[in-house]
Structure 1
Amino acid sequence: MKAKRYDTLGWKLAALSLAAFTLTGLILMVFYYGASLLLWLNPSRSFFGTRLIRWTVNHIGSSLIMLVSGLPLYIYFFFLFTKNTIGYLREITKGMQKFADGNLSYSIPVSSADELASLAKNMNTMADKLRLSLEEERASAKAKNDLITGVSHDLRTPLTSVIGFLEYIETDRYRDEIELRYYVNIAYEKSLTLKKLIDELFEYTRVSGGSLPLELEPVDLGKLLTQLAEEFVPSLEQADMSYRVRIVEPVRILADTDELVRLYENLFSNAIRYGKDGKRFDITIGREGDEAIVICTNYGAPIPPEDVPHLFERFYRVDKSRSKETGGTGLGLAITKSITELHNGRISVRSNRRQTDFETRFPLYRTR
């Protein structure tokens, strides 16, 4: 059975009301017995106070006098004793007005344990949630603007080149067929760049909404990544790199195989693009507690510390020049992060002078 609480507002007001009533009664008793004592000590009618008391009692009545005197006294003492409670109500009202005026960072003080304190806590919680919601809305609007800006920038550059070289061809500004083929080849390469960007953008939009339906099934990460690494052998050989898959412990997770392949294709491509100077690429698979862990390690140039926190943001590139040699679309790692989170996983990166580790963690699949 739940214990009855005596620190509620109702009990507090009842106690204060009783205290005001008791004090009023004590004061009236003092006046009553004082008047009685005066009448007993000076029974003659010569003293003005005695005559006033006798006239009042005979013509008005002692009960009515006590009532008329006691009611204002009770009201006075009640408001005196509830001054702090009323002040706290004003503080809550002031806080609500600040919230209504848009000052959602204001916090109403919580100075008791009754319903008023609960009201203050709930108002503060509501304001915090509303503030966070507004911040998320602003961040979403900013992200949309950044997305439009990034897409516009990345589409404009190759599109300008394609239009420029096609204009050369259209106006017959080439000297011979060799130069014509050269211009056509450049326009074709830029068109492929455009297609890659559009495909990446579509892929990011598809996986970042959080509503992508997944066809989940148990997946052996060791087998999947070993097979995927073998498919990357031509790219690794072209970059003059070797690879090693190290399975510390076989692990299985519940995942959509196609999306998981997409995730690790991005990490493998990233390791080849930026880690080819290290000549080696390692994939380590194991477990820690209830999580499956995959670490993709390359030994190329370290990532600058100031870039690490932004690495999984859309259109973010460590190479600010956005060159074709080092930069992709800037969406690959953002897609990787979105796919990881769709599988209730986490992704992180550590980088130092010796190596760069991309670590993914997923809940282990357990057979029942």
Structure 2
Amino acid sequence: MDYRLPTSRLDELGTVSQNVNHMAEQLQKQVERERQLESSRMELITNVSHDLRTPLTSIIGYLDLLKKQAFQGEEERERYIHNAFNKTQQLKTLIDDLFEYTRLSHGDVQMNFQEVDFHSLIEQMLSEFEPVAREQGVNLIKALSPDPVIMSIDAEKMVRAIDNLLMNALKFSIIPGEIRVNLFSGGRVVKLSIENQGNPITKEQEEQLFERFYTMHTLQSDGNMPSGYGLGLSIAKNVVELQGGRIWLDHHEGYYKFNIELKRPIANNRGKKVLYGEHGE
């Protein structure tokens, strides 16, 4: 694969040499892609095995203590039950995220596009998110364009993507701090940005943020704000791109601004308003 024929001749044999070299380069690239895919699959299996085993080991440990009645008093028994339940919730979250990520990344997903007032949808999500942020010592600032923003999207999946970005901003915000949400609509372009102040990261870390299973130490390390499994931003990226949009990060010395840009047909400026229940469910 590494060998290349000399191409100095200008006759038919020179042309054959060029074609053979081109074929070898294409085969070499294909082999390399297959190696990368295999490496990625092995990495996925390793990470999933580790992340599933960790909470499962804790659950088994707590259940074993309860089975042997190795606790001192009712209070300690309740604590064991509470901890075991929390670990099962972590397991469920991981499995749900894995299932969602696998479906989105392999295209095995049905998009349910409907005309939605994106402005009202964001307002509704932020009204539910604000008490959670306040409890963690973070102030929510809204800068939303006042007019309705009617567009055709899969609202349930878009809510999942935006919720992941909001929770990511909350986990990595300096306390006390603030999260700023901007919604701008101009012509066919609709742009949503979520900003927060956190610890600075390197350029290499920036480039890996949207990769699956890439995790960083959160600034909110208590039990109410788990660090997650590094799938939230990957899911958000897939959801946005499946709806014809793009997502990216602007970062400078700890100032983070995650951006979502969507385009809408002009014809969608008029239409019925579709509202959803809590988090679009």
Where on the TM-score scale, by shorter chain, does this alignment land: which range?
0.7 to 0.9
* Higher mean C-alpha deviation, range 281-290 or range 264-273: 281-290
Q: Paired residue for 1:275, among 162, 167, 173?
A: 173
Match of 1:286 in 2: 184
Match of 1:184 in 2: 81
Change over 3 Å in CA distance of 1:360–1:160 after alignment to 2: same
Match of 1:328 in 2: 228
1:245 is paired with a residue whose SS is strand
Aligned length: 263
Give 1:44-193 correspondences, 5 Å limit: 102-103=1-2, 106=4, 109=7, 123-193=20-90
Q: How far 1:292 moved relative to its partner?
A: 3.0
Match of 1:367 in 2: 267
1:172 is paired with a residue whose SS is coil
Rg comparison, structure with higher value: 1
Match of 1:239 in 2: 136
Q: Distance in 1 between matches of 2:264 and 2:50?
A: 41
Change over 3 Å in CA distance of 1:170–1:305 after alignment to 2: same
TM-score by length of 1: 0.63
Q: Paired residue for 1:207, among 96, 104, 109?
A: 104
Contact 1:345/1:361 (<8 A) preserved: yes
2:111 is paired with a residue whose SS is coil
Q: Paired residue for 1:310, among 193, 200, 208?
A: 208
Structure 1 residues without counterparts, runs of 5 or longer: 1-101
One-letter code aligned to 1:103: D
- Higher fraction of strand: 2
2:173 is paired with a residue whose SS is helix
Greater relative contact order, per chain length (Cα 8 Å cut-off, separation 6+):
2
1:232 is paired with a residue whose SS is helix
Q: Distance in 1 between matches of 2:186 and 2:157?
A: 23
Q: Distance in 2 between matches of 1:246 and 1:118?
A: 61
Q: How far 1:315 moved relative to its partner?
A: 1.0
Q: Distance in 2 between matches of 1:344 and 1:355?
A: 27
1:277 is paired with a residue whose SS is coil
* Higher mean C-alpha deviation, range 118-127 or range 350-359: 118-127
Contact 2:196/2:257 (<8 A) preserved: yes
Q: Distance in 1 between matches of 2:61 and 2:242?
A: 42
**1:295 equivalenced with 2:185 (yes/no):** no
Match of 1:263 in 2: 161
RMSD: 3.0
Q: Distance in 1 between matches of 2:148 and 2:32?
A: 43
**Percent of pairs with identical residues:** 33
Q: Distance in 1 between matches of 2:190 and 2:23?
A: 38
Q: How far 1:312 moved relative to its partner?
A: 0.9
Structure 2 residues without counterparts, runs of 5 or longer: 269-281
Q: Distance in 1 between matches of 2:154 and 2:160?
A: 10
1:180 is paired with a residue whose SS is helix
Question: Runs of at least 4 residues of structure 1 off by over 6 A?
Answer: 114-118
